[in-house]
Amino acid sequence: MRMRVLGRTGIEVSPYCLGTMMFGQVGNPDHDECVRIVHRALDFGINFVDTADVYSYGETEEIVGKALRGRRDEVVLATKVNGVMGEGHNRSGSSRRWIIAEVEHSLRRLQTDYIDLYQVHHPDPRTDVEETLSALTDLVRAGKVRAIGCSNLPAVEIVEAQWASERRGLERFRTEQPHYSILNRGVERDVLPVCERYGMGALVWSPLAGGLLTGRYRKDRPPNGHAARMRWLPRHMTDENKLDAVERLLPVAQQAGMSLTHLAMAFAVAHPAVTSAIIGPRTTAQLDDLLAGAGTVLDDGLLDRIDEVVPPGTDLGALDIAYVPPSLAKPGLRRRPPGDRPAA
């Protein structure tokens, strides 16, 4: 695969990044098959692997660690911190206390002594960004982490973090991992331009919109099997606006002589701000299908037709697991108390 530079880090990575969320109890509990998936991806030329501590509550990192035995130096390994990793207090978030503790657990599970890219999985409104950046800086200086990144940050918070790094002389976020697909293009308005402005690599997740852009799920063909069991996808998989768009995109792909899956993946890596698109196969067959389209390139005519279906910068509806800022999730943060409201 033709490599791309990860932001301005100088690290070369493949345009497809192997995501591992489906490894373990949440997706594929067969560790041996998951290891084979990793090896097949590496043999194909993918050198970028992304995981997270919270995936199957540590089991996924353990699987990745097994798969990379003897091949660790071939791989740019990324993981994430922030999710809830047990009962009790202070076992999640982006505090110094938790980051310094949890990186050790990830290193143990991954069977490595360094992480190439350590990412903050979600924003943490409770924690000062300087606190988070200070802890991550110490990990870089200790040699446990090579570069740091963020995930799901709104553009304004990415800018705030960059300013904090400059002001305090701290390591800065080198990457952002936003949700991006044909059906969810909102990040084209601000997040992706901000990434370009600050020389950050963008690793986009769910380029197949949770499976909708495979064409397997349609208005007359609702999710079944594994997709139906995924508790965070039901509204997304039955969204009328998205299903209508899928119906319009299928003939675009067919007329171009490719599957909708390959069209969607090629779209995700066509944006100049995108370094890699994260693929998340659950089975070897799914990986093989994704790899078969790795060389697909969309010309301007095809991109124009996609724009006609879903205009640039448009979100057709939120993905159920997408981050929602407290200012939107909590009505009380956007409503004055009744006594402070002007009389009609």
Residue indicated by tokens 């509806």:
317
Q: Give Cα separations from 176 to 105, 152, 193 (angstroms).
A: 23, 7, 12
pLDDT (tens digit per residue) in 248-284: 999 999 999 999 999 999 999 999 999 999 999 999 9
Work out how many domains the chain is built from and give that number. Answer: 1
Structural domain contains residue 200: yes
Structural domain contains residue 342: no
The residues near 240 (Cβ < 8 Å, ≥ 6 apart) are none
Three-state secondary structure call for residue 278: strand
pLDDT of residue 214: 94
Structural domain contains residue 334: no
Q: State yes or no: pLDDT of 233 exceeds 70.
A: no
Can you tell me the distance from the alpha carbon of 278 to that of 259, in angstroms, rounded to the nearest whole number?
18
* pTM metric for this prediction: 0.93
Which residue is catalytic, options 16, 55, 118, 180?
A: 55
The enclosing domain of 40 has a CATH number of 3.20.20.100
Domain residues for the domain of 314 are 4-329
Structural domain contains residue 340: no
118 is annotated as an active-site residue: no
**Where are the strands (E) in 121-179, listed by range?**
145-151, 175-177
As a whole number of Å, the CA-based R_g of the chain is 20
Summarize the chain as % helix, strand, coil (round to 5): 45, 15, 40
Can you tell me the distance from the alpha carbon of 344 to that of 336, in angstroms, rounded to the nearest whole number?
14
pLDDT (tens digit per residue) in 215-231: 988 877 666 655 545 55
pLDDT of residue 337: 84
Structural domain contains residue 72: yes
Structural domain contains residue 189: yes
Structural domain contains residue 338: no
Structural domain contains residue 336: no
